[in-house]
Chains A and B, each alone.
Chain A
Amino acid sequence: MENQATSKSSLQIVRRFNAPQSLVFKAFASQEAFAEWWGPSGSQLTLINFDFREGGVTHYRLDSGGMVMWALFRYREIRQPDSITFISAFADAGGNIRTSPFPFDFPLEVHNNITLTETGGVTTLKLYAEPVDATPEQEKTFRELNASMNQGYEGTFKQLDTYLLKLQG
């Protein structure tokens, strides 16, 4: 029962940044900017894919003290300049969603919404996060996204198969 309550819970964080809204938005939207700050300090970020648009996927790798992990964002709704909605998940090297590296209950996918409001040059960022399976509708959207993603990877793997067969031919 306790686990159930935990997995249904949500998270809200409010932070203020001494920067205009456009700059904070760009920190998420521009590959160059994102690569500058994303990833915990002391870790090395490698952007395998960066595609900031609705339906796009950003897939990255983090190296930290000999450990490697992959994760991804799937952007669902982007409203410039004040709202970004995306699903975040742990992944493998191929961009397939994987369970978290934590040996406890962590949702497979988390639905995140970031909103930005600016007052006098100070931007307030609100992050709201909840597990993807919170509502049936979210689940449905995610399944659809997942299906199209899998098709994409299947195509890639088919090409790899063809290539490998040719090599061995």
Chain B
Amino acid sequence: MSVEARRDVFQAIADPTRRQIINLIAYQSMNLNAIADNFSISRPAVSQHIKVLIECGMVSVRQEGRERFCEAKLDTLKEVAGWVDQYRQFWNTQFDSLDHYLNRIQNNTQSDQ
């Protein structure tokens, strides 16, 4: 069974550490070491969270000399900033799942007859 990794804003911000990272760099870009200094978890663990944030389009990395600075892409956050849009997306996903379920059990019932 393969579980497809979802890379979207929801996943990005569902983790408390990632939310803290976004809050941290929301108003000033920071390099990885500076970000990691704010957390008790290991640097690779922080790095992994940043990787997810980059993949979700929440953070971009800017190279400056030998340093890499992480910037929050707040526009991405603004796109989903309305709860109604989030909630609509949530329920539409649920209803897709309900649709599959209803089709499945009705097909099972028919083949039993």
Residue of A nearest to B85 (CB): A11
A-chain residues with CB within 8 Å of residue B100 when the two chains form the complex: 37
CB distance from B47 to the nearest CB of A (A): 15
Report yes or no: A42 in contact with B19, Cβ–Cβ below 8 A.
Answer: no
Once A11-B84, A38-B97 are accepted as A-B contacts, the answer to whether A27 and B102 lie under 8 Å apart by CB is yes
Q: Is the CB of B86 closer than 8 A to any CB of chain A?
A: yes
**What are 22 A-to-B residue pairs whose CB atoms are below 8 Å?**
A11-B84, A11-B88, A13-B92, A13-B95, A17-B99, A17-B102, A18-B106, A23-B106, A33-B105, A37-B94, A37-B100, A38-B94, A40-B93, A42-B4, A42-B5, A64-B11, A65-B3, A65-B11, A101-B19, A102-B80, A102-B83, A103-B22
Q: Is the CB of A106 closer than 8 A to any CB of chain B?
A: yes
B-chain residues with CB within 8 Å of residue A103 when the two chains form the complex: 13, 19, 22-23, 77
CB distance from A117 to the nearest CB of B (A): 16
Number of A-B contacts (CB under 8 A): 102
Complex Cα gap A10–B102 (Å):
27
Interface residues of B (CB under 8 A from A): 3-6, 10-11, 13-16, 19, 22-23, 77, 80-84, 86-88, 90-95, 97-103, 105-106
Interface size class of A (residues with CB under 8 A): 35 or more
Complex Cα gap A10–B83 (Å):
9
Complex Cα gap A122–B19 (Å):
42
Q: Is the CB of A119 closer than 8 A to any CB of chain B?
A: no
Complex Cα gap A6–B78 (Å):
12
Complex Cα gap A30–B30 (Å):
50
Extra pairs beyond A103-B23, A104-B77, A131-B83 (11, CB < 8 Å): A6-B84, A33-B101, A40-B90, A40-B97, A41-B97, A64-B11, A67-B11, A102-B13, A105-B81, A105-B83, A106-B86
